[in-house]
Every structure is written in C-alpha cells, then in structure tokens.
Amino acid sequence: MKIFFVQHGLKNYGGHFLHHTRAWRNAVLAAGFEWRGLGNQSLPPSLATALSVVPLFPHVPHAEIDPDPLSREITDLLYLSEQFASALSLLTDIGAEDLVVVDFASDREMYGVARWLRQMPSERRPRVAFIVHIPDANWTTDADRRDLSGRIAHWRFAINQLRASVPTSRMFVGAIDSRLAGFLSTILGIKALVTPLISMFEADLATAPLAPQHDLLLAGGWRSEKGANIVSDILMGLKRSGRTLNVALQVDSDETRQEVVGHFMDQGPLTLDIAVGTLPPTNYLRRLCSTRLILLPYVAKMYALRGSGIAAEAFSYGIPIVAPAKTWMSDRIEDHSGSGALFYQWHPLSIVATTLRALDEIARLSAEAQQRAPRWREKNCAEASLAGMRAVLEF
C-alpha cells in the first residue's frame, strides 16, 4: 500500500510544511507503507531528493489569486481546485488500496480531489484524507466560540462533489482544533475528528537541554495577526519595567530590523537579539530551546479555531508560553497539555503585565511545562495522526 502525502506548501527549507513532511515520511516508512511525497513546484531539487518528494503543485494552501475581493471566493475555488486536480492527474501508480493525505486542506483541495477522482475509473479510486489546520477566512465565532458565522456553501458543495466520487467510508476529515472539528462535522455532514498538531522536535535538544540565553522569545512570521504591529510597544513596556531582560526577536526583513533597532537606540536594561527572515529548522529550535519564556502576542479571534506551531514546539520541549485567552493555545494550557500565562486583552499593557507575571513565576511554570512535555510529544506526532486515520479507514 502506498501513502501519497500532499504538502503543496512545501517549497523551501523553513516552516511547518517541512517538518510535517519529514515527520510523516518517517511515520509512513516505520509503519511499513510505501512513501509518496508530493510538494510545491518551487521545491529545490536537493530538498525534493532528500525527502523523496515530487514537486507537483503550482500553488500553496490558502492562496489568493483573484485580485477582486468580491469575486475571489468563487473564482479561487474554481481555479485552484482545477489546478489541484490537474496536478494530481499526473499520478499514474495509484490504486484503490492506496491513501492520499492532503495536509493544510480547505474546500479548494476537497473539490480538487473530487474533480480528479471523477476522471478516474471507480475501481482505481484511492482512500482520501484531509487535515484542516486553518478555518475559512470569512468564518468568525462568538465570544465563547460556540457559534460559527460566515459562508459555508463552498465547503458543503466541495464535500458533496467528493461524496459523488468516493464513499464516506473511504474518507477521513481531521481538524487540529476540537471546536473546528465540531463545526466541520456540522457543515460537511461527515464526522470530523481531532487530529494532532505535529511538533518540530529534535530529541537531542530535549535530552541535553541548552543553557538559557534569553529570558523571552518572540518567534515566527512577522504578521499582523501575530502581533507584529504592537511588538515595539510591548518591548517599550518591558523596558520601562526596569528589569534586566534579554529578548530574542525574529523579524521579516533588514528594514524591519533597522526600525526596531532605531526605536530602541537606548535599550537600557533591555537587550535585543534580532534574527531576520525564516531560520533553518535546527537554528530555530536551538533559539527556542535557549529561552525561558515564549511570548505569542497573537490576535485572539484569529486563533480561536487554529493552532500555533510555535506553541506546539514549546509544549514539546517543555517551555512556558504567554498567549491570548480563548484560543487553541489557552485551551492547551487549561487542559494541562502545556504551561503558561494568558492575557485577556490584546493591548500592550495587558500583554506586558502578563509577561512580567509569568517571568516572576517562571520556576513553577517551567517545572509544569517539563512535566507535561513527554505526554504532549507522545500524542502529537505523525505516528498518532496516521494511527487515527488507520482506525477510521480500516487499513
């Protein structure tokens, strides 16, 4: 049996797409199945060879193609699903006993798989699995995350088209967040299960921990939903606290670095260690593992139904976090998967106060995080994700 793992966002040596692919490849081969990795057309040949991945797809997940926001939703569904189907149609060594796993899936990929399967004789159609990491961009929830609003017709249309090509008994839908899984179950009319958020993990960094070099780390993409536009205000608040702090920061460009440095010419008791751009996985992990506390100044509504790879890695290595309440991150702290402190207002003053309180309690929080890390790693790995699919699809 062959498992075709679709990672159409995989195009370079950084980010979650890379470590998800590595983890899945190891899990598939360890389970005795044949590995077929499928990545983005921009994938460098050296990485394609190293991971045994075929560069196939022209677009990344959640791409926006139509410049007109009023027509984009339907245009991109039709165009991107057609492009996805066309790429899959190049596969020749696939049969009914095989499985296609689409990571970072949405309605576009579901409809794309449906369009592809329609072109294939029914006796050759494989099992299919979709892992949804991010809710639709136009979906919003109420304050308690119990009710969902937004357009759902495209998702229902996609799953109905898929049902016409493959029975639901040969279909798996998973979501990283339990609330998102519940909403998808209602929208799609098929039971969506919670599936693990796979953490980037290198065992040697856990067995031989690095000495802390930073008191605080802000890592990951420099984007507004991750608090990029208030980071300078947060740093200024930390500086005004008068504490001697070493802060590691990751920004998107040299221009941003110069802006931050210029803002803090007189850093006082605050020392900044600024990295620029996407870091190689090992460098990123070493930076993460040499900090006492990780700050995630994220906009809560943007993470109400989606996970955080950085938080997942923090949980894997037993590092406390500061994160917004009423999010996937806060759920993981409250269910004792990880440890940390929560802020309840997306405002620099609230975030600074929560961060300083967490630093005051860092010994307790670190002990909790270390104690909980092994269980998190056991439950949130590609092996567990594959096992969940095997149980549902019975292979």
Residue 393 has pLDDT above 70, yes or no: yes
- Asked if 287 and 208 sit in the same domain, the reply is yes
Assess whether 373 and 385 both reside in one domain.
Answer: no
* 106 and 59 assigned to the same domain: yes
- Segment 269-292, tens digit of pLDDT: 888 999 998 888 888 889 999 999
pLDDT at 234: 94
216 with 75, same domain: the answer is no
Q: Which domain holds residue 52?
A: 2-198+381-393
Q: Has residue 375 got a pLDDT over 70?
A: yes
The verdict on 300 and 387 lying in the same domain is no
Instruction: Give residue 40's pLDDT.
Output: 98
Tens digits of per-residue pLDDT, 78-95? 999 999 999 999 999 999
Tokens representing residue 160 in the block: 């109905």
216 with 68, same domain?
no
Residue 120 and residue 220 share a domain: no
Of the listed ranges 24-28, 139-143, 283-287, 388-392, the one predicted with least confidence:
283-287
CA pair distance 325, 331, nearest whole angstrom: 8
Domain count, the chain: 2
Amino acid at 148: L
Residue-wise pLDDT tens digits, 235-253: 999 999 999 999 999 998 9
The CATH code of the domain that includes 174 is 3.40.50.2000
* 278 Cβ contact partners less than 8 Å away, ≥ 6 residues apart: 12, 14, 15
Instruction: State the pLDDT at residue 14.
Output: 75
d(CA 119, CA 114): 9
Per-residue model confidence as pLDDT tens digits over 176-224? 999 999 999 999 999 999 999 998 777 666 665 667 789 999 988 889 9
Residue 339 has a pLDDT of: 98
- CB under 8 A, 24+ apart: contacts of 24-30: 24/101, 24/103, 24/198, 24/382, 24/385, 24/386, 25/51, 25/52, 26/382, 27/381, 27/382, 27/383, 27/385, 27/386, 28/3, 28/382, 28/386, 30/383
Q: How much is the pLDDT for 155?
A: 97
Percent of the chain past pLDDT 90, that is, above it, reads 86
Predicted model pTM: 0.94
**Tell me, what's the pLDDT at 207?**
60
Q: Are residues 231 and 341 in the same domain?
A: yes
d(CA 290, CA 271): 15
Tokens of 126: 């494989």
- In tens, the pLDDT along 159-176 reads 999 999 999 999 999 999
Inter-axis angle of helices 72-88 and 107-118, nearest 10: 50
Which residues lie below 8 Å from residue 71, measured CB to CB, with a gap of 6+? none
Are 307 and 281 in the same domain? yes
Same domain, residue pair 91 and 178: yes
In terms of domains, do 160 and 260 share one?
A: no
Looking at the structure, tell me whether residues 188 and 61 fall in a common domain.
Answer: yes
